[in-house]
Each structure stands twice: as C-alpha cells, then as structure tokens.
Chains A and B, each alone.
Chain A
Amino acid sequence: GIQVEQSPPDLILQEGANSTLRCNFSDSVNNLQWFHQNPWGQLINLFYIPSGTKQNGRLSATTVATERYSLLYISSSQTTDSGVYFCAGPSGGYQKVTFGIGTKLQVIP
C-alpha cells in the first residue's frame, strides 16, 4: 500500500494567521482526501481532491498528482480550526484508505 507523510507534525498559529499543510504520498493516487479531527475525535471530511484545486470558505486544497503531493491552505485561522488534520489515500483497492499521522494545529487567540 501507499505511504502517506504529513508535515509539519505540529503547528501553532496566532488567530488570523495563514498556514500550509503538506501531504506527500509514495505512489500515484486517484483519490486523496483531507480530514479535520476535532478535539472530541470527530473526523470531518474537508476535501476529496485527486487533482487540481478546490476551495471551501477559508480552506483550499491543491493536489499535484504527478508529483505525488497535496497541500491544504488555511487562511485567517480561527480557534475553531484547532485539531488534527489528516490526509488519506487509497491503498489496496476498494476503499481501503491509508491515513498519514496528521498535523496537530493549535490556533491561539
């Protein structure tokens, strides 16, 4: 299966700052997802983005499949953005999904 690496592992931001999270994967993927896990453990799907760029409010994501990486941009961060951000890609068929170890984001007022 694919290997998924995320960076940075930890990030502290002042409220209002912007940030970029990166996800590298070891093999080509035709499906990449970004998730946010809140402090209570709930995983929320942010983007399904096998290639190209998508935007949703203050969040946007870009995947360059040929170079095997994806970026998640957070603009004008808010304290509610705190949590762990995971990227995940398919591994071994069907919908077996391999997750990275995540980027833990803390936004301070």
Chain B
Amino acid sequence: DAGVTQSPTHLIKTRGQQVTLRCSPKSGHDTVSWYQQALGQGPQFIFQYYEEEERQRGNFPDRFSGHQFPNYSSELNVNALLLGDSALYLCASSRPGPGRLGDTQYFGPGTRLTVL
C-alpha cells in the first residue's frame, strides 16, 4: 500500500518564476492538505482540498493556488516566487470525509523548494 507521494523531491527556481508541486494521497484517502515548512519552524497550513474544491485556507496570498483531480491527487502552484517562498512543502492526506477533526493525517516526504 503506497503512502503519500510527492514530486519532485527538490526544486530550484529563481524569483518571479512559477512552480507546480504534485501530491498523490495514500490509497483510500480523498482529502489532501498542503503545508509550508520554513527552516526551523513547524509546518504552516496552506489549504485543503476535498471533492476537487478548496475547503479551507490558511494565511497565504493568492499567489498560492491548488487543484485536486478526480483521482484525488493534487497540485500546489506558486506564482511570482519570492525568496521567502523557499521551504519544504508537505502534502498530507486523510481518510474520506471533511469536517472530521479526529482523523490522522499522513504526510508525504515533501518537496524542498529553493528560490534564488
């Protein structure tokens, strides 16, 4: 049973560019959340997708957008990259159904983004 997978593993971009990160949830999961983890900090919630819609969003600008596909996989897009966007981007999936505060989240290995 494959866990949460993310691609690419590492990515280097320059300021102003756009980036797309990808996530496939754990088998049987249909809810995907994205987090940004800056160096030395805890993960910060970006947004959550369920049924191909953004269900909830953290305090991130509109430059951060996402998408969920019918197979539950998800993309995170960041436009007009800033130096401060350099971070580890984590994807987490959980079992079916929104609003289930008790559900365990399973995290992928992350994508390390460096913006030069």
What residues make up the interface of A, taking CB atoms closer than 8 Å to B?
Answer: 4, 30-31, 33, 35, 40-45, 48, 50, 86, 88, 90-102
Whether B41 pairs with A94 at a CB distance below 8 angstroms is no
Total inter-chain residue pairs, C-beta < 8 Å: 71
* B66 / chain A contacts, CB cutoff of 8 Å: none
Whether B104 pairs with A41 at a CB distance below 8 angstroms is no
Mask of B48-72 contacts with A, CB within 8 angstroms, 1/0: 1010000110100000000000000
**Given A40-B109, A42-B109, A97:B45 Cβ within 8 A:** yes
Bound state CA distance, A102 and B55, in angstroms?
Answer: 27
**Given A43-B90, A102-B42, A95:B100 Cβ within 8 A:** yes
Whether A95 pairs with B110 at a CB distance below 8 angstroms is no
Whether B42 pairs with A95 at a CB distance below 8 angstroms is no
What residues make up the interface of B, taking CB atoms closer than 8 Å to A?
Answer: 31, 33, 37, 41-45, 48, 50, 55-56, 58, 88, 90, 92, 94, 98-107, 109-110, 112
Whether B109 pairs with A90 at a CB distance below 8 angstroms is no
A44 to chain B, nearest CB (A): 8
Whether A93 pairs with B56 at a CB distance below 8 angstroms is yes
Whether B48 pairs with A45 at a CB distance below 8 angstroms is no
* B106 / chain A contacts, CB cutoff of 8 Å: 45
